[in-house]
């Protein structure tokens, strides 16, 4: 008596791979969008921090800070915050943060 082998057919495997491909096509763009959104929120938060520290500097010294280096040297910003601000191309012009 011959035993029947139990296995997946080629058609079944193709269907499964097709379904997995569709799921990947649906999920991947969403992940990219979430990453961009997180980067935007992070940048906006950094702008708020730098602007707040620039305002504090202006209140304490009676004049606006000229640049980010001045805020770091006076300990209003950490070097890590300055590095991140330079990475996202923030500038300090007349005491205001520009993107």
In tens, the pLDDT along 36-95 reads: 999 999 999 999 999 999 999 999 999 999 999 999 999 999 999 999 999 999 999 988
User: Residue 35 and residue 37: Cα distance in Å, rounded?
Assistant: 5
Q: Residues 93, 76, 54, CA angle at the centre, nearest 5°?
A: 30
pTM: 0.71
Give a yes or no: residue 54 inside a domain.
yes
Give a yes or no: residue 99 inside a domain.
yes
Q: How confident is the model at residue 4 (pLDDT cuts 50, 70, 90)?
A: confident
Mean pLDDT of 4-33: 90
Number of domains into which the chain is organized: 1
Q: How confident is the model at residue 19 (pLDDT cuts 50, 70, 90)?
A: very high
Give a yes or no: residue 89 inside a domain.
yes
Structural domain of residue 68, as residue ranges?
A: 37-99
């Amino acid at each position: 008596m011959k035993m029947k082998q139990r296995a997946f057919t080629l058609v079944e495997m193709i269907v499964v791979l097709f379904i997995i491909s569709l799921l990947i096509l649906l999920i991947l763009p969403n992940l990219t969008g979430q990453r961009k959104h997180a980067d935007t929120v992070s940048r906006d938060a950094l702008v708020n921090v730098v602007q707040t520290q620039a305002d504090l500097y202006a209140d304490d010294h009676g004049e606006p800070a000229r640049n980010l280096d001045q805020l770091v040297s006076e300990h209003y910003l950490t070097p890590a915050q300055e590095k991140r601000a330079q990475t996202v191309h923030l500038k300090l012009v007349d005491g205001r943060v520009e993107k």
